Structure 1
Amino acid sequence: MAIDLPQKVHISQDNNGQVWLTYNSPTYLQERHNIKGCEEVLNKVAVVLNKLSMAAVAK
């Protein structure tokens, strides 16, 4: 899992001024690394990433 942590977010802007955030979801990381028994923590991380993403692109 060390290759995927700390969590990274790629931020870009297209020619129309639209801002895009891209990151690996905690669900994807759970599947990728066969993580068991951490659903509660991963769900919390997903909520935080979603809130941060929404705040970052809000105008």
Structure 2
Amino acid sequence: MAASGIIIIIPTLIALANISFAVIAFQGPIVGITFGLMIFGLGVAKGIITARTAVVATR
């Protein structure tokens, strides 16, 4: 899940680099970065929860 968040963020960052920041008329890249960061955050949280569960189960 974290990897898919990064995969979503990369093309949107490229799209943001290609547009002028003086006039942002296309909000697609901004929405893509927002969703990408949300998916990345969920993936990291799931990884932390899974790691903690594995440590508790071995004790």
Under a length normalisation based on structure 1, what TM-score does the superposition of the two structures give?
0.44
Where relative contact order (Cα < 8 A, 6+ residues apart) is larger, the structure is: 2
Q: Which has the higher strand share?
A: 1
Q: Which has the higher helix share?
A: 2
User: Whose Rg is larger?
Assistant: 2
